[in-house]
Structure 1
Amino acid sequence: MTLSTILNALLLLALIVWLGYRQSTWRPIRSGRMWRMPILLGIAGAVVLAQTVDRITTLDVIALTVEAAISLGVGAAMGRIARIRPIVAQPSVRTEGASLESRTGWWGMALWLIVIVSRVGIDLAAAANGAFVASSTGAILLLLAANRAMRVLVLESRTRRLVGGGSDTAAPTARSMMGS
């Protein structure tokens, strides 16, 4: 096992624990705040990839394309299955500026497992055939950024529909919540 493999495993484990926690807890829906993670992951991934990759093979492109499709599809599914409800607790610093909150729960965690299993399988197959970019830390961060960005896009779209095209801070009616 190389140091890179160990670091990738630790990074993946830390992200799984953190995202698993976030899947199971109600989080305020605030557009600007939701975009922070995908943007930071994307920048970090691009920087790491630019510093560590000398050349990209055709097999790398194929592996990354398949992984990106899976990440985007799962991100869309996560945004779609997220439960949305009005914030019922007293306003706090955590909920400031939001009137809705969401969570994906155990189904969200199951979707993360799909991403992880498919990623490990594709990475092992790609590496066995000489394509190592797909399993790099930079690629992992970029694919996570794509997943999170797609989730935010779908969640924002659903939120706009719930509040009748208004901002994400408008409170939905009980009838509009039934459709989510």
Structure 2
Amino acid sequence: MNWNWGAINQVADNVIIAAGIAWLIARQFIWRSGELKRMLRMPVVVVAAGLAYLAIELWGGFQWVAGDWLVVAELGLVAVTGTAMGHVTRFRTVAGLLQYRLTGIGLVLWAVFVAIRVGNFALASVLGANLADATGLVLLSFGVNRLAAIIVVRRRAKGFLVQGAAASMPGGSR
């Protein structure tokens, strides 16, 4: 039996990454700590991993084709969906600690994210784009989405915390 280890590795990478992303998406819908210092950690790590993975995938040689502009468009669109996710995130305080989670509309936005990714992959493959099937692009796309969402969430969380502090002051509004 002759095994194609390159193909097996590609499938295994995609399955592992898809499972990891599914787990991270599911986490978006449960209340979690809103520690402002920690919020950026995961998106930055995912973007860095995507860039590193993409560099490794392209190391053997890469030639830009016109269809690869779809990748740039995809990154812009997933940044927009991430920004929207940041705006539909809810906040609460429990025992004086900020928590946040994505609302039900976020599920629709995740479906839009997946549609963008799948649609881009299909269109890019028809146009002969080289980057569309890169595993690193999946990570980069997800990381850009999360980074855009967290930037908005952090800005909104700061406002929520300031508003909460004002409301708890004597004479503040509730």
Structure 1-normalised TM-score? 0.78
1:78 aligns to 2:85 (yes or no) = yes
Which letter does structure 2 place at the counterpart of 1:63? L
Cα shift at 1:147: 0.8
Alpha carbons of structure 1 residues 8 and 106: separation in structure 2 relative to 1, 3 Å: farther
Which letter does structure 1 place at the counterpart of 2:104? W
Q: 2:167: which partner in 1? A: 173
Which letter does structure 2 place at the counterpart of 1:51? I
1:128 aligns to 2:126 (yes or no) = yes
| Correspondence 1:54-73 to 2 at 5 A | 54-73=61-80
Q: Structure 1 regions of 5+ residues with no counterpart? A: 89-97
Structure with max Cα Rg? 2
Cα shift at 1:16: 4.4
SS in 2 for 1:86: strand
SS in 1 for 2:40: helix
SS in 1 for 2:104: helix
1:6 aligns to 2:4 (yes or no) = no
How many residue pairs get aligned? The number is 162
Cα shift at 1:172: 6.8
- 73-82 or 17-26, larger mean C-alpha shift: 17-26
Verify the 8 A CA contact 2:82 2:147 in the aligned structure 1. Answer: yes
Which letter does structure 1 place at the counterpart of 2:131? V
Q: For the residues of structure 2 that align with 1:120 and 1:5, how far apart are their CA atoms?
A: 17
Alpha carbons of structure 1 residues 87 and 60: separation in structure 2 relative to 1, 3 Å: farther
Q: For the residues of structure 2 that align with 1:172 and 1:84, how far apart are their CA atoms?
A: 16
Verify the 8 A CA contact 1:25 1:105 in the aligned structure 2. Answer: no
Cα shift at 1:119: 0.8
Q: 2:44: which partner in 1? A: 39
CA deviations over 1:129-154 (Å, ceiling 9, x no partner): 21131221111111111111111110
Verify the 8 A CA contact 2:88 2:103 in the aligned structure 1. Answer: no
Cα shift at 1:49: 0.8
Structure 2-normalised TM-score? 0.80
SS in 2 for 1:24: coil
Verify the 8 A CA contact 2:86 2:149 in the aligned structure 1. Answer: yes
| Correspondence 1:127-146 to 2 at 5 A | 127-146=125-144
